[in-house]
Amino acid sequence: MNKEFHQLENNIAGEGFLPGLAVDTVIFGFHDNQLKVLLLAYKNTGLYALPGGFIHDNEDVNEAARRVLQSRTALTNIYLEQFYVFGNYSRYDPGPLKAIMQARGYNPPADHWLLKRFISVGYYALVDFTRAIPTPDEISDSCDWYSLNELPALMQDHQQIINKALETLQNELDQKLIGFNLMTEEFTMGDLQSLYETILNKKLIRAAFQRKMLGLGILERVAKKWTGGAHKAPYLYKFVSNRLPADNS
Amino acid sequence: MNKEFHQLENNIAGEGFLPGLAVDTVIFGFHDNQLKVLLLAYKNTGLYALPGGFIHDNEDVNEAARRVLQSRTALTNIYLEQFYVFGNYSRYDPGPLKAIMQARGYNPPADHWLLKRFISVGYYALVDFTRAIPTPDEISDSCDWYSLNELPALMQDHQQIINKALETLQNELDQKLIGFNLMTEEFTMGDLQSLYETILNKKLIRAAFQRKMLGLGILERVAKKWTGGAHKAPYLYKFVSNRLPADNS
DNA sequence: CCTTATTGTATCAATTTGTTACAATAATAA
DNA sequence: TTATTATTGTAACAAATTGATACAATAAGG
């Protein structure tokens, strides 16, 4: 969804957009030792949904996802990757979009392009929670972070999309060095370990974790962090370079 | 492409199909210690292409890929997975399909659905070379195996699709236990090691490889194989169960 | 029955990972 | 000032995994 929903709505044939194809983006953040995802609440409908959008007919699909990500977070240069195409016929359900349009006082014709079957390309993004500026679109009441373990009821198969995104993140966390994208600029080793433990949903051994992370040679010690606690102050670390995937679609 | 290409061709608006979306399948096989992919040669055009097809408007996308795989190999119950969506605008090139239709004596109107921009969902399949029956479709001269290192010039971005499929296979070979899908029913440890070495493009240590494979507990010794060579006969192994991914799209 | 090439596996070394321990050190209180 | 406390950084060792080498077992063929 972008800010010009009335344009999509009145554009009954969907001119200028790829028909039947959308992107949905699972935007992960990390805060208060919890994994969060960004969700939109649709006006009057009680429905929650992933940030998604349609693809301009002269736009790269990956670019469309990046545009969606940017319009909901005001962030650029973010870790963003495809993870799955949701293309089962059983997910075809024009109900939600119809309800949204009707709640706006618009009664779409039966052959309206937005009511046709859509295939969705799933993306996941890893963002710095503190830098994202959640921004609702024209048809949503809110754009907010929700903890993964207390999500509201979601539109269509968006819960499954989130589940699969998390699975992918868990699998790719070790191989690719992508966890850092969820951290703030500076962080302690404890912060980082907490992130890993939350994503992987298991305890890690402190000494081994620290040894491994330092061994990667991608962390730089910046300063010490005096928290006020009655104990040795931890170092603050900085990630030396962003890990963004190459786009070779 | 299916056997009824004239139906696609005369169906100018693409009724019954999802517009602008296709599947392309990189079908891997292993023979003579070489990785092979199945390619189609299009009539009169000198173009080679991956087996691909369109999606019925009431069909799961994954099912469409499975249908394509089955129609080109006569195989069912095959390891088949999505690996990437190729959706860059720059890949839009109606030339090849136009050439194919014209070579058939059909001059398509400019707004023919097959000449519009297509997004392609990439799949890769791992098949037993000896069981596949390469089957051309109506518009191709041949359907044949080609060694990965001596591929003919390919249509559009199909070479890139193959490259990315191979990358994915290399990355997933260790984690998931999928290499066995490329073997014949019975194989020696040497055969299996040769497969791994070919896919990963590096030498492996014989003793360690054997120890690891046996340690997985998924191989069963069937018999010995007397090759006629002047040396100890290797065991023949069988894979205990097919490794097919769950379909949760 | 001796030679030859290859297989299956044992053995030990090297590396990586798991575990425990302990010194270093900020705050606080005696 | 000096103990006390909690947490961090890292050393030290154990356990597990992987790399490398060696060697016995064994099908052919002479």
Reported as a single tens digit per residue, the pLDDT across B80-116 is 999 999 999 999 999 999 999 998 899 999 999 999 9
Q: Which residues of A6-36 are buried (b: 16+ CB within 10 A; e: fewer)?
A: eebbeeeebeebbbbbbbbbbbbbbeeebbb
Q: What are phi and psi of B5, to 5 degrees?
A: -65, -35
In the listed set A147, A175, A203, which residue is the last one of a domain according to the structure? A175
Annotate B32-44 with DSSP letters as a single string: TTEEEEEEEEETT
List the A235-239 sheet strands across, edge first: A186-187, A235-239, A219-224
By C1' distance from the Cα of A209, the closest nucleotide is C17
- Mean pLDDT of all residues belonging to chain B: 92
What local confidence, expressed as pLDDT, does residue B176 receive?
Answer: 84
B202 CB-to-strand D distance under 7 Å = no
Together in a domain, A183 and A212: yes
Task: Report chain B residues touching chain A, CB-CB < 8 A.
Answer: 18-21, 55, 57-62, 82, 84-90, 117, 119, 121, 160, 164, 171, 175, 248-249
Q: Which residues of B122-134 are buried (b: 16+ CB within 10 A; e: fewer)?
A: bbbbbbbbeebeb
Together in a domain, B79 and B9: yes
* Nearest Cα to Cα of residue A198 among A149, A131, A138: A149
Cβ neighbours of A233 (radius 10 Å):
13
For chain C, which bases have at least one atom within 7 A of a protein Cβ? 3-11, 17-21, 23-28
> Residue A44: left (phi > 0), alpha (psi -120 to 50), or beta?
left
**What's the structural domain count of chain B?**
2
Percentage helix, strand, coil for chain A under 3-state DSSP, each rounded to 5: 35, 30, 40
Task: Report chain A residues touching chain B, CB-CB < 8 A.
Answer: 18-21, 55, 57-62, 82, 84-90, 117, 119, 121, 160, 164, 171, 175, 248-249
Residue B171 has pLDDT above 70, yes or no: yes
Rounded to a whole number of angstroms, the distance from the CA of A216 to the nearest CA of chain B is 20
Together in a domain, B20 and B94: yes
Query: Which stretches in chain A have pLDDT values below 70?
Result: 1-3, 230, 242-249
Average pLDDT over every residue of B152-177:
95
Residues B167, B171: Cα–Cα separation, whole Å? 6
What local confidence, expressed as pLDDT, does residue B242 receive?
Answer: 46
Domain that holds residue A222: 179-239
The CATH number linked to B218 is 1.10.10.10
Q: Is B155 exposed, middle or buried, given 0-12, 13-18 or 19+ CB atoms closer than 10 A?
A: buried
What local confidence, expressed as pLDDT, does residue B204 receive?
Answer: 96
Token pair listed for A248: 């070779």
Distances (CA, A) of A81 to A124, B47, B119, B170, B214: 6, 32, 17, 19, 36
Residue of B nearest to A167 (CA): B248
Together in a domain, B16 and B106: yes
In the listed set B140, B156, B174, which residue is the last one of a domain according to the structure? B174
CA B167 to chain centre: 14
B216 CB-to-strand D distance under 7 Å = no
CA A225 to chain centre: 30
Residue B157 has pLDDT above 60, yes or no: yes
Q: Which pLDDT band, with edges at 50, 70 and 90, does B230 fall under?
A: low
What local confidence, expressed as pLDDT, does residue A72 receive?
Answer: 98
In the listed set A143, A175, A207, which residue is the last one of a domain according to the structure? A175
Q: Which range (A52-66, B132-146, B233-247) has the least confidence?
A: B233-247
Residues A165, A101: Cα–Cα separation, whole Å? 28
Together in a domain, B117 and B217: no
Cβ neighbours of A133 (radius 10 Å):
9
Is A198 a member of any domain?
yes
Encode pLDDT of A166-206 as tens digits: 999 999 998 888 999 999 999 999 999 999 999 999 999 99
A215 CB-to-strand D distance under 7 Å = no
Residues A9, A108: Cα–Cα separation, whole Å? 8
Together in a domain, B78 and B138: yes
Q: Where are the alpha helices (DSSP H) in chain A?
A: 5-10, 61-73, 95-103, 158-175, 189-200, 206-215
